[in-house]
Structure 1
Amino acid sequence: MVKVKAGILGAGGIAKVHTANLKNDERVDIIGVADIFKDKAEALAKEAGEHVHAVESLEELFQLGVNTVYVTTPNTTHVEPVLNCLENDINVFSEKPMATSLAEAEQIKEAAQKSNGIYNLGMNRRYAYVYKKVKDLIATEEVTPHMALFKMNRGELLNPAWTADPKATGGFLYETPFHLMDMCRYLFGEVEAVKCEARQNISEAELDDFAILLTFETGTIVTFVTSAHSGWSFPFEKIEVYGKYSTIETEELEKVMYAPGLKQKAEIDDYFQVPFEEKWGYIEEDQLFIDAIINGTKQPVTAEDGYLSTQLLESIYESARTGQQIDLRSVSRSSK
């Protein structure tokens, strides 16, 4: 069996999740872990396996002979290592976001088109059990989504302090809200128009409260609210989808309820007991990425797809700044 020789760049919390998944995949050998803090690299390398090297840079991972790199560094530091991997025909799995500007996202998209390496953006919620259920109900036309309500909050913006620093995050929307920005497109297709009202209520550096209205080419209308300082009120992540006399409702990544019609019993799937790396979609997205490398199948989230989600997020910020509705039909999409 030809094995994937993987390296991990960045030894934080999400790196530990991917490392555990890859360690359990017999098709993968983890060769090295890199982090600018050598002690962190050493600790994760020890978890990854007996012969895994701890180094301090991407270049050292290349020297170890990796053919695949997981980029799990902070938001604003994804672009340079991703481009470096693609230019060297190295497969690269980048944690979200793709980039923290549309111009940088376009650089990655163009590099991915030229590279022999496979690019994948880590959007685990596409494979989370609750959202797979929602996607299936829409795809099988059991529910035609006329309207939807999305909520994605953060409990406290200023703790830890870096979460309020756009130099580290790229802006609040590039943090966890980006997942549900992508989920909107994944469930309902491309966005036709965006209108956003936003305020700077707690943070001294950035907008931290957003009320967003999205109109989709399919006709679906979505209201999306996200606050950076909601106090961790449960559920801080939630969507509701409304069809003809039908509702799909999620609570966090734990539970999904489907009410199929009038005078009918609601169906509830509860995943509370399922390990988080499974129910949150991390295991499946890693397996599908390795499948793409070994079997030539399509990776979970392409550079083109990541670019379009970045384009949507940037349009929301533009509407927040200008107070204007943004018509995405007038924005050039490379997929059209």
Structure 2
Amino acid sequence: MAKTRVGIFGAGYIASVHADILAGDERVELVGVADMVEANAARLAERIGDARTGTTLEDLFRMEVDTVYITTPNTTHVDPVVASLNEGRNVFCEKPMATDLAGGDRIREAALASTGSYNLGMNRRYAYTHDKLKRLIESGELAPYSAQLKLNRGELLRPAWTADPSKTGGFLYETTIHQIDLLTYLFGSIATLRCAARSAISDAEFDDFSMLFTFESGTVATLSSSAHSGWSFPFERVEIYGRYATAMTEELERVRYALELDQTVHTEDYTHIPFAEKGGYVKEDRLFIDALQDGGEPPVDVDDACALNLLLACIYESARENREIDFSARVRESIG
């Protein structure tokens, strides 16, 4: 089978993570890298070998890539994704899909009309810690009655652009999107949600969030996220409570679980695993290339991406208007 010819649009840190993974996949040919700062494209191209360089998306198209990885800042995803899909190219886009509902609608329309395949990069689904939780739930060993998730990013000072909503779309789109995505990934369809938020430090946007979700399965979950509280370990955590059972993560490093009352607490430690592997990047790239090579569905397709985009918009709406939202009704309206 012919190799998947990949071009990377945007040559920052996350582009280098994907480039290193793809360079080790014998099914992939890394054809080119484009970045508005040509020196950045050249630096990444040199890192991965023989890739050509350019400064525009059209430069990648002229290199005859069949697949484009979009790794530009959050608020700049929609136009290159739509352009790539309109050209019939496959697209892997880093999160978020978009930073408003209109942008998500444009991508969905382009994806449905395209011969190319669309995938949203949500690596935390495939992190070793969360993969273990998913397997415990799917096996029936752990039935989630309730859960609490938390993410304190620490600060929005380094790098400074993380505090700029014109680049991120807002704190939830930049950082907490992963925990928000895990809610439906682990617990299924959301029935209702409510969010209380405040601007504790930032003058530009909400930076403290407390959320409550109910699920159609009966599960109830809370999610707290702060943009400025410090980096105390573990700054990322999921705790799930079942029938005399608990499971909890400690960042991407460990998962602990006990599935029966008064039984042994099991610990799986991943601190020795390379970051790209334990963080889920290797698996998400492999699953995406699998889908392209085998003609299957991408791991996070356009419908999944639109559902997450709607969820984020509803959380912000709940925070602004200080009210509960019937999310299941919003989903029904969106698919109309």
TM-score (norm 2): 0.98
Tell me, yes or no, if the aligned pair for 2:212 and 2:220 is still in contact at 8 Å.
yes
Instruction: Name whichever of 274-283 and 156-165 sits farther off.
Output: 156-165
CA distance in 2, matches of 1:69, 1:118: 10
Deviation, 1:17, is 0.6
Residue identity matched to 1:36: M
Quote how far apart the aligned CAs of 1:335 are.
5.8
**Runs of at least 4 residues off by over 3 Å:** 332-336
Contact 1:285 1:300 (C-alpha < 8 Å) held by counterparts: yes
Q: Report the equivalent of 2:132.
A: 133
Q: Structure 2 matches for 1:76-115, cutoff 5 A?
A: 76-115=75-114
Instruction: Say yes or no: does 1:5 pair with 2:43.
Output: no
- Indicate the SS of the match to 2:32: strand
Partners of 1:137 and 1:332 in 2: how far apart?
A: 28
> Using the alignment, how far apart are the partners of 1:17 and 1:159 within structure 2?
19
Aligned residue pairs total: 335
* Structure 1 unmatched runs, 5+: none
Q: Is the 8 A contact 1:256 1:269 kept in 2?
A: yes
Q: After TM superposition, give the deviation of residue 330 of structure 1 in Å.
A: 2.0
Q: Does 1:37 align with 2:37?
A: yes
* 1:1-336 alignment runs, 5 A limit: 1-49=1-49, 51-333=50-332
Cα distance in 1 for residues equivalent to 2:158 and 2:200? 16
Cα displacement (A) at 1:48 = 1.4
Q: List gaps (5 residues or longer) in structure 2.
A: none
| Cα distance, 1:332 vs structure 2 | 3.8
Q: Is the 8 A contact 2:307 2:331 kept in 1?
A: no
1-structure distance, mates of 2:107, 2:157: 31
Alpha-carbon distance in structure 1 between the residues aligned to 2:311 and 2:246 = 26
| 1:163 partner amino acid | T
Report the Cα distance in structure 2 between the residues aligned to 1:46 and 1:11, rounded to whole angstroms: 12
- Does the Cα contact within 8 Å between 1:79 and 1:104 map onto a contact in 2? yes
Q: Deviations over 1:212-265 (max 9, x none)?
A: 001111111011000000111111100100000100100001100011111100
Percent of aligned positions with the same letter in both sequences? 54
Superposition RMSD in Å: 1.0
1:118: how far off? 0.6
* Whole-angstrom distance in 1 between the partners of 2:292 and 2:94: 17
Note the C-alpha offset of 1:114.
1.4
Cα contact 1:198–1:320 (8 A) shared by 2: yes
Is the contact made by 2:41 and 2:53 (CA closer than 8 Å) also made in structure 1? yes
Aligned-partner Cα distance in 2 for 1:59–1:139: 43
For 2:276 and 2:195, the matched residues in 1 are separated by: 33
TM-score, length-normalised on structure 1?
0.98
Secondary structure at 1:108's aligned position in 2? helix
CA distance in 2, matches of 1:258, 1:113: 41
3-state SS of 2:273 partner: coil
Q: Give the CA deviation at 1:108.
A: 0.9
Distance 1:151-1:332 versus aligned 2 partners, 3 A rule: closer
